[in-house]
Amino acid sequence: MSSGSPTHPTSPTHPTPPAHLPPAFRLNQMIMSLWVPQVIHAAAELGVADVLAEAPLTSGDVAARLGTHPDATERLLRALVTLELLVARGERFELTEMGRCLETGSPVSRRAWSRLMGGPGVWQAWGRLTDCVRTGRMAWGAGDAAASGTEHFDAMGRDPAAAAIFHQAMVELTRGVAPGIVGAIDLRGARRVVDVGGGHGALLCAILEAHPAVEGAVFDLEHAREGALALFASRGVAARASFVAGSCFDAPPPPADVYVLKSVIHDWDDARSLQILGKCREAMADGARLLVVEPPAPTARGNATLEWILTFSDINMLVNTGGRERTEAEYRALLEAAGLSVKGVRETPSFFRVFEAVRA
């Protein structure tokens, strides 16, 4: 299991065409919008933004540096201009502010996220949405009665490149919201934190940076180890952070005062979620707390951005992991069904909320 899933960006671009256009044209534009993520994915996969990071270049220069076909490269760059990721100045192409978000080293990079969303695993899974709706099962198991329900994450152990892209995408999505989450977490009296399904540990790093007296560990599958250790070192917390390999479907996480589950429970259906929460409860000593960090689905209309994110994230969970987005009441009920008592729900500056629970 891992720290997150192909899930929701923090600032989505709404693909809905302007309402003043004829309905058939608006629908046609939405249908053709499938081309957009693949253009962005190609740019991310090839590293276009990294090549253009220092100075504008002609399409020929870009093609030479990337080793790509000159004419096809120019056509891709023109498409990126249309998407406002690039601007054409004479024969040269220059990154826009949004285009710089595809740079590998940008603090707001979404390069790995684009590579994940447009890559073969997610892209092919979404192509089976019809089967998922017919069967109620995720794409990995929609046509296979023997599917275990964990293949999506287990497969990463057999594909290190795909695992690296996935975990880096989760780092990209976590680091922007991590300060707000950390600010909402009460760690008074805590000496050790375990980030369950924490991937490379972006949230754990933020926690340890804010609390110098606290030690911590990431508990996740083995394919996250190398990236986690590298991130601990780069963030200067390696002396207080460790990685423990394991799956909380099979064993409880290691001892801690506080356990954190961010963007994990929404990956799974109720039965699997209860398994995870049950293993966490099994690990919790008297006084230990579990913090479930998720963005609850709205129960009333009003916030169009939140509705857009969670409506489509919910379908993404159906397709890719078999999970679902849940309301605050549904998260409370799930925690209570696992033998936990919800002591409070803390808001954060983003859509995420922190559900604090103890053993009932």
Catalytic residues, by residue number, are 266
DSSP strand E in 305-339: where? none
Determine if residue 55 is left, alpha or beta; phi over 0 gives left, psi from -120 to 50 gives alpha, anything else beta.
Answer: beta
CB 359 within 8 A of CB 284: yes
Q: In sequence order, what DSSP letters do the residues of 146-187 get, joined into one string?
A: T--S-HHHHGGGG-HHHHHHHHHHHHHHHHTTHHHHHHH---
Angle, helices 160-175/225-234, rounded to nearest 10 degrees: 40
Of 222, 225, 229, give the one whose Cα is nearest residue 154. Answer: 222
Q: Which residues contact 274 (CB under 8 A, 6 or more apart)?
A: 334, 337, 338
State how far the Cα of 13 lies from the Cα of 308, in Å rounded to an integer: 10
State how far the Cα of 183 lies from the Cα of 350, in Å rounded to an integer: 11
Taken in order 15, 19, 20, 23, the sign of the CA dihedral is: positive
The position carrying tokens 């696992």 is: 338
Q: Write the single-letter amino acid at 186.
A: D
In the three-class reduction of DSSP (H, G, I as helix; E, B as strand; rest coil), residue 128 is classed as: coil
